[in-house]
Copies of this chain bind each other. A is one copy, B any other.
Amino acid sequence: MKRVLITGAEGNIGSSMRSLLADRYELHALTRESVPGLESFVADIGGDLDALLPAFVGMDAVLHLAGSSGMQHPWEAVLHNNIIGTYNVFEAARQQGVKQIVYASSNHAVGLYELDRMPELYKRRAGLELDHTAPVRPDSLYGVSKVFGEGLARYYSDKFGLSIYCVRIGTARLDDSPNSDAARKGQAWLPLPEEANLRRMASTWQSKRDLADEIDACLQAEDVKFDIFYGVSDNPFRFWDLEHVRAVIGWHPRDGAPDPTESV
């Protein structure tokens, strides 16, 4: 089994990926706090590069999930965790000869395409379909940090031969579907009416098992040197392309969000 180092294994998405990928890979954790049941190397990825290096020894791949992941996060957090942290993770992987990185990029690298079209965008078949070639339009400093990370990924792949897959994850933090009571509570993305927020979640939702399958497909595609994929389930309101990821690594989602209008 491939040895995979997960950063951010203690987070919401990291916890799910650990259990969903546990029978397919030998997992190790690089975290800020020890993770029960997993070999954990405890360090701050935004800190000293040299201190991180031992965690990467003998790894075949890195699943880089760690970072500040909120649109409202201030510059200092984004700089430390996402910009310096991502540089350190890529550089440590390079120095230790790790061959593959799955990088948790984000839809927020292109989030402002939505700005002009809300809330009509979130209605079925609104017509906007973004693919991996769309010029970036980050909606936050968080989104800007993902633009940086994708650029760094391209450089490390082109220059040093690493295979790096940037997955622009949609709304993967929900434990259940966007139509659940849990999802309805406190998941507002922007100051929009509840229905619009619900519709956005139904457009952008990715189930945890779909994300795990997509990561798995990346790790199996060793001949792919660099690409950008969207991470989203096959939702009826979806406005991101899924044909490219299917064509390149053969992944297609199993899940799709229920239509929120059926219960609103």
Pick the contact of A148 from B75, B140, B144, B159 — CB < 8 Å?
A: B144
B139 touches A151 (CB 8 A): no
Q: Bound complex: CA of A151 vs CA of B111, how far in Å?
A: 12
Tell whether A136 pairs with B112 under 8 Å between CB atoms, given A84-B79, A87-B75.
Answer: no
Indicate if A222 sits at the interface (CB-CB under 8 A). no
- Chain B residues near A139 (CB-CB < 8 A): 155, 158-159
Report the minimal beta-carbon distance from A241 to chain B, rounded to whole angstroms.
15
Q: What total of chain A residues lie within 8 Å of the partner, measured CB to CB?
A: 27
Indicate if A143 sits at the interface (CB-CB under 8 A). yes
A151 touches B148 (CB 8 A): yes
Report the minimal beta-carbon distance from A152 to chain B, rounded to whole angstroms.
5
Tell me the residues in window 127-166 of chain A with beta carbons closer than 8 Å to chain B beta carbons. Answer: 133, 135-141, 143-144, 147-148, 151-152, 154-155, 158-159
Q: Bound complex: CA of A84 vs CA of B143, how far in Å?
A: 16
Pick the contact of A143 from B91, B140, B155 — CB < 8 Å?
A: B155
- Chain B residues near A136 (CB-CB < 8 A): 151, 154
- Chain B residues near A151 (CB-CB < 8 A): 109, 136, 138, 143-144, 147-148, 151
20 A-B contact pairs sorted by A residue (CB < 8 Å): A75-B87, A79-B84, A83-B148, A109-B151, A112-B158, A112-B159, A135-B154, A136-B154, A137-B154, A138-B152, A139-B155, A139-B158, A140-B155, A141-B155, A143-B151, A143-B155, A144-B148, A144-B151, A147-B147, A147-B151
What is A's interface to B at a CB cutoff of 8 Å? 75, 79, 83-84, 87, 91, 109, 112, 115, 133, 135-141, 143-144, 147-148, 151-152, 154-155, 158-159
